[in-house]
Amino acid sequence: MPSSLNLVTTITEDKLILHGLYHEADKSKPAVIYIHGFETTFYAHKFVHKIAEKFNQSNTPYLLAENRGTGIITEFINTDGVGKYYGSFREKLEEAHLDISAWIEFLKNEGYEEIILMGHSLGTIKSVRYLFEGEYANVVKSLILLAPFDKNAYLVVKNKDQWKKHVEIAKGKIDSGKGLESIPPEFDDYPVTYNTYYSWYKVDDLNCMYDFYRKDYDFPVLNKINIPVKVIIGGKDDFLFFPQFNKDGEEIKEILEKNLPKGDVTLLPDSGHVFRGFEDEVGEVVDNLN
C-alpha cells in the first residue's frame, strides 16, 4: 500500500489528549512506536529524523509518540477541556503504560496486529516496564532500546548513600500531601516533584533494571524478557558508563548480552547519549531489524 504521513491524536485512559506523527505504511509489518526520553519531545534529536527517513524508504509503519513526560512542565488538555500539567517535572513512571496503551489502541484501530516499542533513554525504561504493566503487552513483538542509562549510578555518584535517605524523605512528603512540591537541589541535578523522585528511585526490580554499577546484581527484569531486544549503546555515554563502576562500554555490552535471553547489542564505542555524529549508523541498525 502507498504510505502517508499525518499528525494524529489519541486519548489515554485518564483522558489526556496526546499528539504524534504517524507514518501509515505496510500493515503486514509490525508498527514501531517511538517513546522519547527525559525532558524532550518525539521530534527532537537528529537520530530520530534519520530513523524516520529510513522507515519512510522501507515502507515501515511508525508512530513518533508524545507522552506525558514531554518537556519539563507541559500542559496537556484532557477530553473535558481542562489543562493538566505533566512533563518530566511531574510524571510518574507507573503511569507511562497509559500513554503507550493509548497509542497501541490507535494502531490496532488502524489495522496493525503487532507492535515494536522503540525507546530512547528514559523511553527504554518505559518500554521495558510496559511488558510488565501494559494492557496490550501481548502484542509487543520486540523492543528496540536506544541508549538505556544507569540512572541509579548517576545518583550514587552524586549523593553516595544519601539518596536512600532522600527517597524516605520523598515518601514522607507524599504521605503528608506534599508530593507535588519540588525536591531540593541536593537531591538531584534535575528539577522534579517528590512524586516523580520517589517514582524514579524507590527500590524495586523495575527501578533497578539497568543497575550496571552493582557488581552482584542479577538483573531479574531483563532476564524475564522473552521477546527479541535490540540495544544500541554508546561507549562515551555519560549516563550509562561510569568509570567508578565499569571498565568500559564493552563490559556493559557483555552484561546486557548475558542477561537478555534474546538480546542483540550494538556498541558504538565513540558515541554519546544522543548518538551525535552517529545518526547514520543508528538508522542503519534499526532499519535492518525490519
pLDDT at 161: 84
Buried/exposed 249-275: b ≥16 CB within 10 Å, e otherwise: beebbebbeebbeebebbbbeebbbbb
pLDDT at 290: 62
Last residue of a domain, one of 184, 209, 234: 209
Residue whose C-alpha is closest to residue 66's, from 94, 91, 29: 91
- Name the one residue in this structure whose C-alpha cell is 502484542: 139
C-alpha cell at 9: 491524536
Same domain, 40 and 166: no
pTM: 0.95
pLDDT at 57: 94
Last residue of a domain, one of 194, 209, 224: 209
Check: CB of residue 186 under 8 Å from CB of residue 221.
no
Q: How far apart are CA 192 and CA 71, in angstroms?
A: 12
Residue 78's CATH number: 3.40.50.1820
Q: How far apart are CA 80 and CA 98, in angstroms?
A: 18
Q: How far apart are CA 132 and CA 129, in angstroms?
A: 5
Same domain, 72 and 123: yes
Q: Residue 169: in which H helix or E strand, if any? A: helix 162-175
Same domain, 198 and 142: no
| pLDDT one digit per residue (tens) for the chain, 290 residues | 556 899 999 999 999 999 999 999 999 999 999 999 999 999 999 999 999 999 999 999 999 999 999 999 999 999 999 999 999 999 999 999 999 999 999 999 999 999 999 999 999 999 999 999 999 999 999 999 999 999 999 999 998 889 999 999 999 999 999 999 999 999 999 999 999 999 999 999 999 999 999 999 999 999 999 999 999 999 999 999 888 898 889 999 999 999 999 999 999 999 999 999 999 999 999 988 76
Same domain, 140 and 163: no
- Type of residue numbered 205: D
Dihedral class, residue 87 (left if φ above 0, else alpha if ψ from -120 to 50, else beta): left
Same domain, 127 and 157: no
Same domain, 97 and 238: yes
Q: Supply the range of the domain harboring residue 176.
A: 151-209
Same domain, 142 and 158: no
pLDDT at 89: 96
Check: CB of residue 91 under 8 Å from CB of residue 196.
yes
The phi, psi pair for 9, rounded to 5°, reads -130, 160
The phi, psi pair for 97, rounded to 5°, reads -65, -25
Q: How many domains does the chain have?
A: 2
pLDDT at 1: 56
Contacts of 280 (CB under 8 A, 6+ apart): 50
Count of CB atoms within 10 A of residue 133's CB?
18
